[in-house]
Structure 1
Amino acid sequence: MAAESTLDREGLVLERISNARKRRPRLVDEVVTLAHGAGGKSSAALIDAVFVEALRGPELEQLGDGAVLTLPSGERLAFSTDSFVVSPLRFPGGSIGHLAVHGTVNDLAMCGAVPQWLSCAFVIAEGFPIAELREIVADLAAAARTAGVRLVTGDTKVVPAGAADGLYITTAGVGVIPAGRELGAATVRPGDRLVLSGTLGDHGMAVLLARGDLAIEAEIESDTAPVNGLVETLLAAAPNTRWLRDPTRGGLATVCNELAVDAGVGVILDEQLLPVAPQVQGACDLLGIDPVYVANEGKFVAVVPAAEAEAAVAALRADPLGGQAAVIGEITEQPEGVVALRTPFGGSRIVDMLVGDPLPRIC
């Protein structure tokens, strides 16, 4: 009760700032910076002011994980694309080859689609070892088999030494959306619950420590994995699931802010319910980084009706990829467009969209 009464007392302040939070950030920079690729405010401003402004269309302006397209036959497809520029190319738990498949497969799954086909384009720097390229392509092929998708087309370009930091990969994917499946921010309602499929921050911290720039030793592995099967498990247990998103760049905080703005609701998270592995929490504490801003590559956030939340968590926990699934918060009518975090001490704090770039090149 103490946490709720504190939140109520802060309600007026939260409402006063909610209108400002509902507007996506404006682009004020004159040059592109690393912050524009971090998935936070700067990314949103760049996308809105440059890309959406020039390429407007009803599908693009949804700004989801992929475009939902209706064929003349009435069937619906999801179409998504992503580029992968991670450094280092290999890290504990995976490689750029795994990410290239998992990232696009998971984006399609967040649209409610069953992923089917991928394309893959390689930009390779002159001098890149063929043996290493073979290993990464083998990782990519293994990831595709695990995810149940087929690589059906691709492209290769070679650029001068040093121009592409070794190797960049771009994948695009197509998936089929089953009839009657509708997911989106417009379906979210006050009283719904937020379900997280597992622990926060594993991928971002694994990649950061793998660079070797910090004197921190911790056994942290990336969670990179295809979640399309886990999504189907969720939807079978909670058929009225409203919304899905994978917390990659910008982490949980950023996707929750996008949800709050897009759905016109408040998002209230409970800090005590957020699953974070002890080694990830320890590394974050040492570096002064909040785990809610650290990326995952094998987790998702779902909004489900309150009546289906318990069944959703039970079903996810029965799968090895969802063993740490938990209800982490709720949807409220007010403060509109704001994400707040209840703390263990009975107070609350605003969780804003990521500013800056604490973890560059994580995907």
Structure 2
Amino acid sequence: MMAICHLEAWLRLALLPGIGPVRGRQLLARSSLDRLCQADAPALVQLGLNAQQIAHWLNPDQRKLSRVFSWLEQAGNQLLTLDDVAYPRLLRETVGAPLLLFVQGHVEALSTPLLAVVGTRQPTPGGRLAAQCLGRDLVQAGIGLCSGLALGIDGVAHQTALQQHGVTVAVLGTGLAQIYPRRHIPLARDILAQGGALVSEFWPDEGVRAENFPRRNRIISGLSMGTLVVEAAEQSGSLITARLALEQGRELFVVPGSWQNPQARGCHRLIQQGAKLVCNAADIVEELGQFLGDKGRMAPDGAPQKLPGHLPTDNLLDNVGYEATDIDTIAALSQCPIDQVMGQLIELELLGWIASVPGGYVRTRRD
């Protein structure tokens, strides 16, 4: 456990007006933290601090410091500084890595092989299913899922990792004492209970501010080996994460969608610009071998059970698409009675070939 004086020095540095992650690193490159602690006003001027910054350094906001120390006294709460051995290596290597990371839960989760999964807050049934299926197979391959705890694809990614007993990390755009959205407070608790972590660069009592959410995206991509985008409109915030991933030298993967789906237009644009189109989890794992080593071996995929040999069921499956198909359409295309169609759909769902979604059924496997 680091000495309180050392921790307080980092907190004071983070409180300096006009000193963000980049300028903070530059300041530390000119002077050690210990030297800053011992410097008087003239010495601080020589280090490039202005009068306002010197005043804040010498007389920090004690109430704010006190609230942080009180937060750290609660079980499971930790603060990682940029020089901490537990600070995740991949994130430290990025430009603009936070000087401080507030962490709740299991710090070691931050250093496991992670893939960022981002996308729309209003996914289609097909998009939700894609995130679930890919997430399941990635977790089985030993990869943790990192996302932003938002509604939609973020939540699906976290929930899928938990269902597979895998690691998941949620990066918040608020302080960790102000979970947002509040609807996901139970999800946040489940993440902590199952060995994951909540992370934020914002002080624990920081509330919702719109400008903070794009900032948190660089941490999502920075913690991760690569970023997977599942359904993103052309103006989606997920595209910010995608751009940041590329700037950080990370892999970018995209799930294609229907040309009629406006939620997929941002994904198609990314593919046109060179992002890797993903058909299955193996497409991702093979690109991440440099990060994964032996951990990157795909677990044997559970082969679907053989279809019954009679033609009606085979014909029925041929008429269930990868976008939601309603029962009436399936019955009409397969030219089977509706009661027979319903029975065979249940059979196919139990065998793992299709899934029930709002609006009908979608196919989950290829032949």
TM-score, structure 1 length as denominator? 0.25
- Greater fraction of residues in strand: 1
Greater RCO, 1 or 2 (C-alpha within 8 Å, sep 6+): 1
TM-score, structure 2 length as denominator? 0.25
Structure with max Cα Rg: 2
